[in-house]
């Protein structure tokens, strides 16, 4: 290595245009594992405390398999009936990680069943609410009740 040959880390920094922390990190990796220590490796999370509990994963699978629910509906169900708080993106990642992220084609789009309201005469089916209000003047005498349509 250049640092071991020159004996000076700051010269190596200037030669390669790299910061001192990187040189020391590479030097430590080289001393530990030789040239294999300098290969780029994916960072692996050691701490798994952020992983979703297996019980929640099983419940999400059950809801997907049995009811063909989407992640947002799974979140809604778990929050309402199981008191489990989880985000829809976490549910999506759980399903995707296990290969069940896509619903079957026939269950993807939900059909909207609406009945169109159409009558021959406009305003045929109008709901009205009638209220009778009694007004009292300043002397406390009741004024003739008026009929208002709201």
pLDDT digits 0-9 by tens, 112-122: 666 666 667 66
pLDDT of residue 29: 87
pLDDT of residue 59: 94
Token couple for 22: 């990187």
pLDDT of residue 64: 92
pLDDT of residue 10: 82
Quote the pTM value.
0.44
pLDDT of residue 107: 67
pLDDT of residue 123: 64
Q: What is the 3-state secondary structure (H, E, C) of the chain?
A: CHHHHHCCHHHHHHHHCCCHHHHHHHHHHHHHHHHHHHCCCCCCCCCCCCCCCHHHHHHHHHHHHHHCCCHHHHHHHHHHHHCCCCCHHHHHHHHHHCCCCCCCHHHHCCCCCCCCCCCCCCCCCCCCCEEEECCECCCCCECCCEEEEC
Give every residue of the chain whose pLDDT is below 50, as ranges: 150
């Amino acid at each position: 290595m250049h640092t071991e040959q020159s004996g000076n880390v700051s010269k190596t920094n200037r030669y390669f245009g790299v910061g001192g922390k990187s040189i020391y990190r590479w030097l430590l990796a080289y001393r530990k594992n030789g040239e294999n220590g300098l290969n780029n490796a994916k960072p692996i999370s050691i701490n798994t405390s952020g992983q979703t509990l297996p019980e929640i994963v099983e419940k999400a699978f059950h809801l997907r398999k049995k009811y063909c629910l989407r992640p947002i509906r799974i979140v809604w169900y778990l929050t309402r009936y199981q008191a489990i708080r989880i985000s829809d993106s976490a549910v999506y990642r759980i399903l995707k990680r296990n290969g069940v992220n896509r619903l079957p084609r026939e269950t993807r789009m939900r059909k909207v069943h609406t009945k169109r309201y159409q009558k021959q005469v406009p305003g045929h089916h109008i709901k009205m609410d009638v209220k009778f209000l009694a007004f009292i003047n300043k002397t406390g005498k009741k004024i003739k009740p008026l009929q208002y349509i709201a």
